[in-house]
Chains A and B, each alone.
Chain A
Amino acid sequence: MLTVKNLSKIYGSGDAEVRALDDVSFAVEKGEFVAIIGPSGSGKSTLLHMLGGVDKPTSGKVHIDGTDIYSLDETKLAIFRRRNIGLIYQFYNLIPTLNVEENITLPQLLDGRSVDRQHLDQIIATVGLSDRLTHLPNKLSGGQQQRVSIGRALITNPAIILADEPTGNLDSKSSRDVIDLLKLSNKKYGQTLIVITHDERIALQADRVIAIEDGQITRDEVIRP
């Protein structure tokens, strides 16, 4: 479903050169739940951005469902993204001029599709924002904003969900809810789920754990086959 081949990302050049990703290759099955762990600055976010098609690799290829995503032109890639990938950033990024509901439904609206009210309500209820629907992002707490961006990633039922420390700003109860939500989505719709986390307990719930250090995979083990 997802294959990564010899992926490298180099920032800067000369003395300032940083090898954020160094020749990384792996494959993920459909429906798998993968946790990516590693120390700060090891290249986790960089890898996730490559998988999500929002940054260009220096070299290497990413195939999703057989599509070489970096061979697509900008428009096709954008459409591919909004239909197939749900991305949750480390720094929750919402459109400041759109309210909660609009931010969540953004990918569907961009696709010109009408929103399935039931599905939306279900997602809103799960992320626990039913009473904040008309608020603008700057009126929300950090955790609430994070939950909005999770809602946005789930709304299209994407084939892959990529989450960069989705629980970084949440208390343990909310954290658990969010992970349960992601897992539920993963099981129910057979979505592939890749989560970056520093949280041991979350990593242990995954099917498989990939550890990254200095831009290279140092460990890749399947916990639950």
Chain B
Amino acid sequence: MNIINRLTLRHLLLNRGRTAMTIIGIVLSVAMVCCVAGFLISARDLAIQNIKDMKGDWHVAYIDVSQDTADKIAGEGVFCSFYTKDGDTDGYLNIYLRLEHPKRDVIDLGRGIAEEYGVETWGGNTELLALEGVIPYDNIMLTFILIAAICTAIIVAGSVIVIANAFYISASERVRQFGLLKSAGATSRQLGRSILFEALVLTAVAIPIGVGLGFLIQAGVLWVTNNLLSEIFALNVHNGTLAFRLIFSPFIVYVSVAIAVLTVLASAWLPARRAAKTSPIDAIRQTKDIQIRSKKLKTSRLTQLLFGFEGTLAAKSLKRSRGKYRATVVSLTVSIILFITMSSFIWVLNKGVEMEYGGYDFDVYVAATGGQAMIDEIEETLASIPDAKVQSMRRTLLSTVLPDGFMKKGSPVKAIENGVYALTLCSMPDEEYAKIFPVMQEPLTGILDNTVRYSSGNKKLEAVPFNCEAGTQLPLLDWGYVDGPSGVTFTVNSDEAARITIGAVVYETPKSINAALFGDSMINILVPESAYRAMLLEHETAMAKHADAAFAVATPDPDAFGETAQELLAPYFNENGSGIVMQDVSQMTRFNRNITLLVMLFGYGFIAMLSLIAVTSVIATISTGMALRRQEFAMLYSVGMTPGGMNKMLNLESLLYGLKSLMIGVPAGVALSYLLYKSMNYTFVFAYKLPAGAMAISAAAVMLLTFGTMRYGKRKLGKISIVEAIRDEAV
């Protein structure tokens, strides 16, 4: 080993912390690429299983052929295996064949054989052939591959940034060393090669760990996914026989190794070139690291005013060591963007799932009509069944006339007939109601739930239908059907039975209320339970007859619950006009929950890995940056900066790092999340919501990370001995 490579190894060992960080970065990116490739392969495997299960394991099939022809076809040299089944006509059979080495022309080949033996009905298993990679993929598979490619691209981009960063810092630390080596006669090529050598050593260590970790993560995720899938597929005919399998394909290893090596080489290339280009004396003086951009560097007066001289110093230090500053800000920014986009993506997907499957989160739906006393008894009975949690909502379906301008333009809510709308009063526990609006008995107040979900054609939509201000009053009208000369007609009693004042308007159904329990009307007004009961008592004739109740029951065993409920509620069934409807919605609920979980699993898994990569890089950048500035700090102490002043300066630097990355990352993340939302809008229409949670979390995390790392870096530097640091010319 030559002296330069020996120095390189020593450098790696000396900077153990950063070397470890770099290796972790490479390990994570290898693991992630490995995972994505693995998922793709497992998904393909599942699809193949599925096709074989549904259609069979064959490439070409000939239908209704004689035994004789079948024997001849099976004897063709191109086929390696076959099986037969009885055909539709007696004495004839269907023959299904696999080719030994199927090529692109497989369909032509099949046609040729069919013509040769005069078989009229024949076919190729195009899905299987596509999945086996014989003929081009159809759309769905292409979408699949596209998603995997995009994921891989994001990972590779993320890793290049991280790993390049690590190399960049390593190289800047060594710039002086390189300068000395150069002046002692090392050629640029030698130095460049030493950086590549460094890259090679790191990759050699990282790849085996990364591949191992990748398979481990994959195994874990597939296991969880399979458990969720088995419940989803339980709805299918293929009773849980389909499951993702972990496949140890060498392809996965090749791909991850190839991508990792390319990533590392690309990352090492820049610093290698820089090392080659820099003249020895520039290297010794580290001219390239610090550059004057303009004669007078402007730092804002505000910084000076707010943070004093230490602030100005921090701003200058960041502006003049652009490279490192930018590297950190870029890593932070990328992770902020990814985090916000992915959390928004999860939200968008979940919203889609919720709108598609109704947002059911309970197992049995029960509806009961009848007098209040009876409904109370039914609720008590339901609640007495063991292992069941019952949530109830009392509802009264009435009519109303809306004031001018109440309805928004384009609102999907339609009148029943000329100006009369259906309106449901829904009871809500008093204490929950009071959290939004104080409970009042007189006058009657309610909370308007100003969202509706509906579908139109293939689209599912969610909208805000009303312009309603608190204080608006709505009449409550009795309605009914009257026998007339032209049959039964719907009539509304225009005498106002009561009047309700909208106390508050909400744009999201309160958490304590189950939107699935709302009736069919689109105007839903929540009223406190006590007031609801009082109102029914008072308006016995006009309103009580329209009252009913809905119950959401959560139970681990819906069948057992159904049987018990049937028995216990027998006396109430069909007794003087009351009715009870019971519906098992547990399958839908489970389906809904599992898809949601699946989306979250992949989404958050992805976020977690990427964040880890980014965090590693930021910690590496900032903390080595701190170590590099030992001498500068010592100098500042020596001319009289106090420890307090030093903290102030470092805090401000952290703040600037954080702010800058948030300023770019948050808007970009929001813009991307909006694009994702827009792309979903073709089938699911709902209002965009700013990913405020993700924004807040990323802001907090970024600040924590920068401040934490600075603190940590400073702690690690310990009490700087001024003289020693200054003496330490760090060559």
Chain A residues at the B interface, C-beta cutoff of 8 Å: 49, 52, 54-56, 74-75, 78-83, 87, 89, 91, 93-99, 102, 106-107, 109-112, 134-136, 138-139, 152
CA distance A93 to B638 in the complex (A): 10
CA distance A98 to B641 in the complex (A): 15
- Which of A80, A82, A87, A134 has a CB less than 8 Å from the CB of B292? A134
Taking CB atoms, residues of chain B closer than 8 Å to A81 are 638-640
Taking CB atoms, residues of chain B closer than 8 Å to A99 are 292, 297
**How far, in Å, is B441 (CB) from chain A's closest CB?**
65
Q: Known contacts A75-B643, A81-B640, A96-B320; can you find 15 more A-B pairs with CB under 8 A?
A: A52-B638, A54-B722, A54-B723, A79-B642, A83-B640, A91-B726, A94-B635, A96-B290, A96-B632, A97-B316, A99-B297, A109-B313, A110-B639, A134-B292, A134-B295
Nearest B residue to A48 via CB reads B723
B473 at the interface (CB under 8 A from A): no
A-B contact pairs, 22 of them (CB 8 A): A49-B722, A55-B721, A56-B721, A78-B637, A79-B642, A81-B638, A82-B639, A83-B640, A89-B726, A91-B727, A93-B631, A94-B635, A95-B632, A95-B636, A109-B309, A110-B309, A110-B639, A134-B295, A138-B285, A138-B287, A139-B287, A139-B292
| In the complex, chain B residues 677-731 whose Cβ is within 8 Å of any chain A Cβ | 721-723, 726-727, 729
CA distance A98 to B285 in the complex (A): 15
Which 7 residue pairs of A and B lie closest in terms of their CB atoms, listed nearest first?
A: A82-B640, A54-B722, A97-B320, A55-B723, A78-B642, A81-B640, A75-B642
Taking CB atoms, residues of chain B closer than 8 Å to A91 are 726-727, 729
Q: How many residues of B are in contact with the other chain, CB < 8 A?
A: 38
CA distance A19 to B285 in the complex (A): 33
B308 touches A136 (CB 8 A): no
Contact flag A74-B642 (CB < 8 Å), given A89-B726, A95-B632 = yes
Taking CB atoms, residues of chain B closer than 8 Å to A106 are 636, 639
**How far, in Å, is A125 (CB) from chain B's closest CB?**
20
B321 at the interface (CB under 8 A from A): yes
CA distance A102 to B640 in the complex (A): 15
Nearest A residue to B721 via CB reads A55
**How far, in Å, is B680 (CB) from chain A's closest CB?**
48
- Which of A54, A78, A93, A134 has a CB less than 8 Å from the CB of B641? A78
CA distance A97 to B721 in the complex (A): 21
B321 touches A97 (CB 8 A): yes
Taking CB atoms, residues of chain A closer than 8 Å to B250 are none
Taking CB atoms, residues of chain A closer than 8 Å to B636 are 95, 106, 110
CA distance A152 to B635 in the complex (A): 12
B286 touches A96 (CB 8 A): yes
CA distance A119 to B313 in the complex (A): 22
Per DSSP, are chain B's interface residues mostly helix, strand or loop, or mixed? Answer: helix
B102 at the interface (CB under 8 A from A): no
CA distance A152 to B637 in the complex (A): 14
CA distance A72 to B644 in the complex (A): 15
CA distance A89 to B726 in the complex (A): 9
Taking CB atoms, residues of chain B closer than 8 Å to A138 are 285-287, 290
Taking CB atoms, residues of chain A closer than 8 Å to B290 are 96-97, 136, 138
Taking CB atoms, residues of chain B closer than 8 Å to A139 are 287, 292
CA distance A99 to B317 in the complex (A): 11
Taking CB atoms, residues of chain B closer than 8 Å to A96 are 286, 289-290, 320, 632
- For B294-310 the 0/1 string (1 means CB < 8 A from A) is 01110000000000111
A78 touches B643 (CB 8 A): yes
CA distance A106 to B317 in the complex (A): 14
Taking CB atoms, residues of chain B closer than 8 Å to A110 are 309-310, 636, 639-641, 645
Nearest B residue to A135 via CB reads B292
A93 touches B640 (CB 8 A): no
CA distance A78 to B638 in the complex (A): 7
Taking CB atoms, residues of chain A closer than 8 Å to B726 are 89, 91, 93
Taking CB atoms, residues of chain B closer than 8 Å to A83 are 640
Nearest A residue to B297 via CB reads A99
Nearest B residue to A83 via CB reads B640
Taking CB atoms, residues of chain A closer than 8 Å to B316 are 97-98, 102
Nearest B residue to A98 via CB reads B316
Nearest A residue to B639 via CB reads A107
CA distance A81 to B645 in the complex (A): 14
CA distance A52 to B726 in the complex (A): 14
CA distance A80 to B295 in the complex (A): 33
Q: Could you say which of B312, B638, B729 has the most chain A C-beta atoms within 10 Å of its C-beta?
A: B638
- Which of A87, A112, A135, A136 has a CB less than 8 Å from the CB of B309? A112
Taking CB atoms, residues of chain A closer than 8 Å to B309 are 109-110, 112
CA distance A107 to B635 in the complex (A): 11
CA distance A139 to B282 in the complex (A): 10
Taking CB atoms, residues of chain B closer than 8 Å to A89 are 726
**How far, in Å, is B308 (CB) from chain A's closest CB?**
6
Taking CB atoms, residues of chain A closer than 8 Å to B727 are 91
**How far, in Å, is B323 (CB) from chain A's closest CB?**
12
Taking CB atoms, residues of chain B closer than 8 Å to A112 are 308-309
Nearest B residue to A109 via CB reads B309
Taking CB atoms, residues of chain B closer than 8 Å to A152 are 639
CA distance A99 to B294 in the complex (A): 12
**How far, in Å, is B175 (CB) from chain A's closest CB?**
12
CA distance A31 to B140 in the complex (A): 89
**How far, in Å, is A96 (CB) from chain B's closest CB?**
5
CA distance A98 to B636 in the complex (A): 11
Taking CB atoms, residues of chain A closer than 8 Å to B313 are 98, 109
**How far, in Å, is B32 (CB) from chain A's closest CB?**
37
Nearest A residue to B316 via CB reads A97
B292 touches A49 (CB 8 A): no
A49 touches B723 (CB 8 A): yes
**How far, in Å, is B650 (CB) from chain A's closest CB?**
14
**How far, in Å, is B648 (CB) from chain A's closest CB?**
11
B285 touches A54 (CB 8 A): no
Q: Could you say which of A56, A82, A112, A138 has the most chain B C-beta atoms within 10 Å of its C-beta?
A: A138
Q: Could you say which of A79, A81, A98, A111 has the most chain B C-beta atoms within 10 Å of its C-beta?
A: A98
| In the complex, chain B residues 600-651 whose Cβ is within 8 Å of any chain A Cβ | 631-632, 634-645
- For B347-390 the 0/1 string (1 means CB < 8 A from A) is 00000000000000000000000000000000000000000000
CA distance A156 to B320 in the complex (A): 26
Taking CB atoms, residues of chain A closer than 8 Å to B287 are 138-139
Contact flag A55-B640 (CB < 8 Å), given A93-B631, A98-B316, A112-B309 = no
CA distance A109 to B311 in the complex (A): 11
Nearest B residue to A111 via CB reads B640
Taking CB atoms, residues of chain A closer than 8 Å to B638 are 52, 54, 81, 87, 93
B723 touches A78 (CB 8 A): no
**How far, in Å, is B626 (CB) from chain A's closest CB?**
14
CA distance A9 to B286 in the complex (A): 34
CA distance A49 to B631 in the complex (A): 16
Taking CB atoms, residues of chain A closer than 8 Å to B644 are 75
- Which of A78, A97, A98 has a CB less than 8 Å from the CB of B640? A78
Taking CB atoms, residues of chain B closer than 8 Å to A136 are 290, 292, 320
CA distance A55 to B640 in the complex (A): 13
Nearest B residue to A153 via CB reads B639
Nearest A residue to B320 via CB reads A97
Nearest A residue to B645 via CB reads A110
CA distance A98 to B649 in the complex (A): 14
Nearest A residue to B284 via CB reads A138
Taking CB atoms, residues of chain A closer than 8 Å to B295 are 134
CA distance A204 to B641 in the complex (A): 35
**How far, in Å, is B112 (CB) from chain A's closest CB?**
77
Nearest A residue to B643 via CB reads A74
**How far, in Å, is B176 (CB) from chain A's closest CB?**
12
**How far, in Å, is A82 (CB) from chain B's closest CB?**
2
CA distance A141 to B50 in the complex (A): 76
